[in-house]
Amino acid sequence: MQGRSQMKFSRIASLFTLAMLTIATAVPAAHAQNTVGMIAQIQGAAQIQRNGGTIAAAQNMAVMLHDKIVTEPNASLTIGLIDNSSLQLGASATLTIDESVLVNGVGAPSKVGLLGGRLRSIIVGAMRGSSTTFEVHTPNAIRAVRGTDWTENYGEQPRQRYPDCRQFTDVDVQDGTVQVCNTATPPECQDVHAGHHTTVACGGFFAGGASGLGAFGATALGAGLAGGVGAGIAAGAGAGAFSSPDNRQQPPHHPVSPIE
């Protein structure tokens, strides 16, 4: 009887040890799948909202799926991604990590939301593959890219030319091609090439730069902050010209300004 009890106890102990080993190996694996990058550089103060709490951002800290990153005035940070791709967030900016994908077995963001401020995206290496699309969504525009370098800014401060608009997405392309779409159904899109600039002002697109494109895309977007992020970018996709049913005045053409 005593021998049977010892055997039963040994079997239970073995099963418990196996279960603990399984949990110990599963936790790092799950953590790795949710990790999409790392804070490679930070100046000033920034916070990360994660799992209902807020932590101070620090260099070499992992960036996770569903993180919300907020920089304070005069602050900036760079998120390092696979193959030297990066996301550079400016001062007083808010970025959400909305979706992720595995790139060569490594987690990477596939969709982020810019809710305010300035973001420079540099997408190179494996993240520019034909099967990988990286998107940046603002409340009134969507961009998707492959193998490109561009800067965008989202703000809600009124502009003199558009007294009734409170949603502005500005896009400057340094390298490659970025497709900018609004949130109409179906969406209206326009390719923006290197050295060119475009602005999405509420429900319309206004292109600038050397392309010489006029005002286009007058469909109302109907996407505000209360409705969530509803715009993005796709690089390399084809896009047709847009009509301009309204007579809104086109802003002056602007060449791409250098990134400081």
Would strands 215-216 and 204-209 be described as parallel, antiparallel, or unpaired?
antiparallel
- The fraction of the chain above a pLDDT of 70, given in percent, is 63
Cα four-point dihedral sign 51, 53, 54, 56: negative
Buried b (16+ CB within 10 A) or exposed e, 140-166: bbbbbbbbbbbbbbbbeeeeeebeebb
Question: Under CATH, which number does the domain 2-234 receive?
Answer: 2.60.120.1440
Please tell me the predicted confidence (pLDDT) of residue 75: 98
- pLDDT of 156: 92
Q: What is the rounded (10 degree) CA torsion for 49, 154, 158, 180?
A: -140
Instruction: Give the predicted TM-score (pTM) of the model.
Output: 0.69
Which H helix or E strand runs over 64? strand 62-64
Kindly give the pairing relationship between strand 168-175 and strand 177-181. unpaired
Q: Choose the weakest-confidence range: 57-71, 73-87, 119-133.
A: 119-133
Asked whether the beta carbons of 198 and 171 are under 8 A apart, the reply is yes
Q: Which residues of 73-96 are buried (b: 16+ CB within 10 A; e: fewer)?
A: eebbbbbebbeebbbbbbbebbbb
Asked if 172 and 257 count as a contact pair (C-beta separation under 8 A), the reply is yes
| Cross-strand partners of 179 | 144, 234
CA distance 116 to 61: 22
pLDDT at residue 61 in the model: 97
C-alpha dihedral, 34 to 40 to 135 to 70, nearest 10°: 90
Residue 57 near residue 82, CB atoms below 8 Å: no
Domain ranges of the chain: 2-234
pLDDT at position 164, please?
84
Whether pLDDT at 185 is above 70: yes
